[in-house]
Amino acid sequence: MKNAFAVMIALLALGTLYVILNDNTSLFAKESQSGDRIEVTNNIKHIDLDLENSDTEVIPTDKNEVQVDIEGKGTMTLKGNGDTIDVVVKHKWYEWIGFNRKSNVTVYIPKEYRNSMEIDIGSGNFVMAGESDSAKWKLDELSIDMGSGNMELENIETNVFEHDGSSGDLVVSGLTTKNGKVEISSGDVELSNFEGPLEGDLSSGELTVTMNALKGDLNFDVSSGGVNLDLPENASFKLNGNASSGDIFCNLPLKNQKIEDGDISGVAGSGKYTIDVSVSSGNVDIY
């Protein structure tokens, strides 16, 4: 009886192995999908990228279509759903075993697309850039949800920019926005040549912002972690800083400066914009 049971288990194991070996997305095989595309009509208001454990590059193109190329593990789905185009890259459970687990994904999106884009990355690397600082990629809204991994953005202009990071590193160069918001549970965010208003909410992690010109109100709420704010010397703002624990430093000259019990206030230049800082723990450096 025991021998019959052992034989049955062995046959089931061999059958399972046979299925995996003959599956295009198996543990041992590489899946390669190229050239999948869908037209971008005037009805398309959203392009959503859901990328699981992938190294991805988004490239602006003159063609009026979204095209996706994928190499490596994983399966890709490209589909239209009403006013939305969805790009989804997923992996089966057994594809997480081994060393070569990632997909290499290239997404081509029309450079004239101006509506909303949502990016959700579980892990891996992500790169997206406009043509140049004088020819930025213009979007109505860019929303990012990072589980982990690394993301690099360059030369982007939006009406709304939102980032929600559980972990991982985000590096953005040349971002212009009318409404910016960064939430960090952990990880690091670096915004260089940033232009526009910004709201930062840090549970932990590090936020570094460099501005060539201050052109909007800033609001930072720091539970823990740190904010480094590099402003031009001629920036005009009114600073309101409150620290229940932690530190707020401002190395720029302030008129009517007042420092008391960790709180700091004062005015730089004409005081055109407002910088509100609240620190429960951690630190904020303004320089």
pLDDT for 102 equals 73
Rounded to whole angstroms, the Cα distance separating 127 from 153 reads 6
Give the confidence band of 96 by pLDDT, cuts at 50, 70, 90.
Answer: very low
CB atoms within 10 A of CB 144: 22
- pTM here is 0.85
Rounded to whole angstroms, the Cα distance separating 143 from 120 reads 8
pLDDT digits (tens, 9 = 90+) for 105-153: 999 999 999 999 999 998 899 999 999 999 999 999 999 999 999 999 9
CB atoms within 10 A of CB 151: 22
Rounded to whole angstroms, the Cα distance separating 5 from 267 reads 82
pLDDT digits (tens, 9 = 90+) for 46-92: 999 999 889 999 999 999 999 999 998 888 999 999 999 999 999 77
Residue spans per domain, the chain = 2-286
pLDDT for 114 equals 97
Is 2-286 a domain of CATH 3.40.50.2000? no
Give the confidence band of 9 by pLDDT, cuts at 50, 70, 90.
Answer: low
